Amino acid sequence: MQLRVETASPWDWRWQLRNSISSVEQLAERLSLTPGEQQGAERAAAQGFPIGITPYYFGLVDPSDPSCPIRRQVVPDEAEAREVPGDLRDPLGEEAHSPAPELVQRYPDRALLLVTDQCAVYCRFCTRSRMVGAGEGPRPDQRLEPALEYLRSHPEVRDVILSGGDLLSMATSRVRRVVESVRAISSVETIRLATRVPVVLPMRIDDELLAALRPFHPLWVMTHFNHPKELTSEARAALNRLADAGFPVMNQSVLLRGVNDRAETLEALFRGLIRERARPYYLLQADPVRGTGHLRTPLDVGLGIMDQLQGRLTGIAMPKFIVDTPGGMGKVPVLPEWVVSRRAATDTAPGSTTLRTWRGVEVDYIDPPV
């Protein structure tokens, strides 16, 4: 009899990936699809961005509600075929800002290394849908070597974000090798693992993975919870295992129409995250990815939500609201109008600023004399 690793349980992450829903038939078997979803799924299977949903994450879908916030994130819709003004294939101009294959650099001190095109789940709003899920899989060592060589010869890059795709969809030995080779570059100070795995495949955050990565601290985990329903007991346990193993965990949410575009929803999400020691870092305005117009909100919606949350939500749960500017010119934090007016200093009076507080009152701040 041969010994083999037991992977026959739904609590094993490999079982989850092997049993992922990836075809129209599998989807239609489990869900009574609306005509729009049926059409969207057929289009995705034929030519679009692939379908991919772990059984675990599918378990959060409400089968009786087509507007379920989990369902909207992963079940394709016919609207994906629609292009609206401003839509771009590569909204962040990543292809134009690539100093080496699989490397994106848009800021002097940090860069993004795309280590695989696979994910545990394919999110319908994905910014990188032009290349994610293309089926090539984890990048072999020799394909990443030019990017590593670039990082070695550019010591100004001190923060490397490992992304893709989702690196934690790769085998642990492969994750470890990639992290080890970036950690071997002495000028790299921090490494960030950008992953949706704690949300869609929390059982992947197991002891084996944590033991493999711990030697390479400081490693930061950038995760991607979008809705309070995603904070299941399994996901919360995964966040706690990460925190216990010494990983600072930061969350980036994408603001999505019909998913999380209400202050009450985001407040519940952000409060839930800090209870598990994960810091709400960014609330990202959805990028104008081609075929995602139905999932995006006007900028005013995000500004209104930030206005409602300011002062009412503890500061450690307040993310920055960010627009990643089309064309790859960089992220811009945007704020509601807290500054009402400013007056420059004169010969007789110091400068002053009128501020609107969260209570709605206006207060003057007087500068010190020049």
Contact between residue 203 and residue 233 where contact means Cβ atoms under 8 Å apart: no
84-143 positions binding ligand SF4, by CB under 6 A = 119, 122-123, 126, 128, 132
Nearest residue to 284 via CA among 127, 87, 85, 68: 127
Q: Catalytic annotation on 68?
A: no
Amino acid, res. 143: R
Distances (CA, A) of 110 to 113, 159, 282, 313: 10, 5, 17, 30
Chosen residue from 30, 110, 183, 262 binding ligand PLP by CB under 6 A: 110
Residue 30 or residue 331: which is nearer to ligand PLP going by CB? 331
> Interface with ligand PLP includes 106 (CB under 6 A)?
yes
CA nearest to 10, candidates 49, 45, 56: 56
Would residue 107 show up in a list of annotated catalytic residues for this protein?
yes
Q: Which two tokens stand for residue 283?
A: 């609330």
**Segments of the chain assigned E as strands:** 103-107, 110-114, 159-163, 190-194, 219-223, 249-255, 278-285, 320-325, 330-333, 339-343, 352-356, 362-366
**4 included as an active-site residue:** no
Site for ligand SF4 contains 256 (CB under 6 A): no
- Contact present, 103 and 150 (Cβ < 8 Å): yes
Residue count, binding to ligand SF4 (CB under 6 A): 9
Active-site residue flag, 123: yes
Q: How far is the CB of 275 from ligand PLP (least distance, A)?
A: 23
Q: Does 170 bind ligand SF4 (CB under 6 A)?
A: no
Q: Is 331 a catalytic residue?
A: yes
Give CA–CA dist 319/274, Å, rounded.
11
Name the one residue in this structure whose structure tokens are 């079982």. 15
Q: Which does 123 bind (CB under 5 to 8 A by kind): ligand PLP, ligand SF4, none?
A: ligand SF4
Contact call for residue 290 and ligand SF4 (CB under 6 A): no
12 is catalytic: no
Q: Which is nearer to ligand PLP, 11 or 107 (CB)?
A: 107
Q: Which does 112 bind (CB under 5 to 8 A by kind): ligand SF4, ligand PLP, none?
A: ligand PLP
**Is 196 one of the binding residues for ligand SF4 (CB under 6 A)?**
yes
The residues carrying an active-site annotation are 106-107, 110, 119, 123, 126, 128, 287, 324, 331
